[in-house]
Amino acid sequence: MSKSSSKRASAAQDRLELIQSRVIVERDSVSSISSSDFPFHTSNRYSNIDFLEKIRKKLRVSIEKKSQYDMEFDLIGVDASIANALRRIMIAEVPTLAIEKVFVYDNTSIVQDEVLAHRLGLIPIKANPDEFDFKLSTEHPTDQNTIVFKLKQECKRNPKTAANETDPKKLYLNHNALIWEPKGDQADRFKDSQIRPVHQDILVAQMRPGQKIELEAHCEKGCGKEHAKWSPVATASYRLMPEIILKEEITGDLAIKFASCFTPGVVEVKDENVDGKTIEVAKVVNPRIDMVSREVLRHKEFEDKLELNLREF
């Protein structure tokens, strides 16, 4: 193969890599938006036949932020469709436990029985779904497929409040009244991890003196694709990683203007010593927080100074 042919092949490979791994952001449009990272999409010369082996070698997960109730992580080395598949799996296919049946014995509150049952169904339950079986429609409730909660509450006036008190939280006596009632050997199985609602302060119904609610609620195992109450995540979303490539240094007043075109914190203007002089230089420090507004592409002085992409992997 001649040198010119080799260069053309290398350029074609680089272009293919760019198209497969980036969404190219332009002033008035975006290009390369369709995923093409799958076997035989291109000619055999460039197709990656061993697709799964490529994923196995390149896939990395980097946890950026994690707390008790949320997590943000980078999925590196795979196409955006894989990230979307994980998102859909988390929303619809990871099993949890939720209240499925409500038996109302007494309800004199202003909340109708069916509305009350719907509200109870949306209360997240703190219980390990691996410890329970899916309950078939033909099966009876057992300690292996059902969790039972009891709610028995009557609103009463608080005798210790002042005569001119108007705050309902002080004026009336109400309690967190959804109580777990162990069945079978559940008390022993879960003695170290008591089953309860995830949050203790979820409002189910507002009551006034003389009103009463008594019911029994049965929790069953299910998935979000059957009903949203079984979805273990409130929100699962993904976005492509912004990529800002500077083709040349941007200095002086242009550096300050350049930084103002991005989400605060993406670009910083730093002082550098060049030939004994201190100049201001724009540096990309945190592209992940950029909202990709494309404001920078609206200024002619920056048109040839950068590339703006969204990385797929």
**Domain regions of the chain by residue span:** 96-230
pLDDT exceeds 80 at position 59: yes
Query: Mean pLDDT over residues 172-187, rounded?
Result: 82
pLDDT exceeds 50 at position 49: yes
Query: Mean pLDDT over residues 285-300, rounded?
Result: 93
CATH fold, domain 96-230, is RNA Polymerase Alpha Subunit; Chain A, domain 2 (2.170.120)
Contact 47, 56 (CB under 8 A): no
| 32 or 123, higher pLDDT | 123
pTM assigned to the model: 0.73
Q: Which of the four pLDDT bands, split at 50, 70 and 90, describes residue 165? A: confident
**8 Cβ partners below 8 Å, 6+ apart?**
none
Contact 280, 255 (CB under 8 A): yes
Q: pLDDT (tens digit, 9 = 90+) per residue, 225-275?
A: 999 999 999 888 889 999 999 999 999 999 999 999 999 999 999 998 877
pLDDT over 90 percentage in the chain: 51
pLDDT over 70 percentage in the chain: 85
Query: Mean pLDDT over residues 197-226, rounded?
Result: 90
If one counts every other C-beta atom within 10 angstroms of the C-beta of residue 143, the result is: 15
User: What pLDDT, on a 0 to 100 scale, did the predictor assign at position 131?
Assistant: 95
Report which listed range, 24-33, 240-249, 273-282, is most confident. 240-249
| CA angle, residues 227, 153, 99, in degrees to nearest 5 | 15
Q: How far is residue 78's CA from residue 80's CA, in Å, rounded to a whole number?
A: 7
CA 138 → CA 110, 134, 135, 141, 143, distances in Å?
34, 11, 8, 10, 16
Supply φ then ψ for residue 267, to 5 degrees: -120, 135
**175 Cβ partners below 8 Å, 6+ apart?**
153
Across the chain, where does the E strand assignment appear? Answer: 22-25, 30-31, 60-66, 71-76, 96-107, 125-126, 147-154, 156-157, 172-173, 178-180, 196-197, 212-222, 241-246, 267-274, 277-284, 306-311
> Given CA atoms 250, 251, 257, 260 in this order, what sign does their dihedral have?
positive
Indicate the average pLDDT of the chain: 85
pLDDT exceeds 70 at position 313: no
Supply φ then ψ for residue 186, to 5 degrees: -60, -35
For residue 144, give the amino acid letter.
Answer: Q
User: What pLDDT, on a 0 to 100 scale, did the predictor assign at position 294?
Assistant: 92
Q: How far is residue 181's CA from residue 163's CA, in Å, rounded to a whole number?
A: 38
Long-range contacts of 198-204 (CB under 8 A, 24+ apart): 198/123, 198/124, 198/125, 198/126, 199/124, 200/176, 201/176, 202/123, 204/111, 204/116, 204/119, 204/120, 204/123, 204/151, 204/178
Report which listed range, 44-53, 153-162, 163-172, 222-231, is most confident. 222-231
User: What pLDDT, on a 0 to 100 scale, did the predictor assign at position 273?
Assistant: 84
pLDDT exceeds 90 at position 134: yes
User: What pLDDT, on a 0 to 100 scale, did the predictor assign at position 46?
Assistant: 44
Q: Which of the four pLDDT bands, split at 50, 70 and 90, describes residue 170? A: low
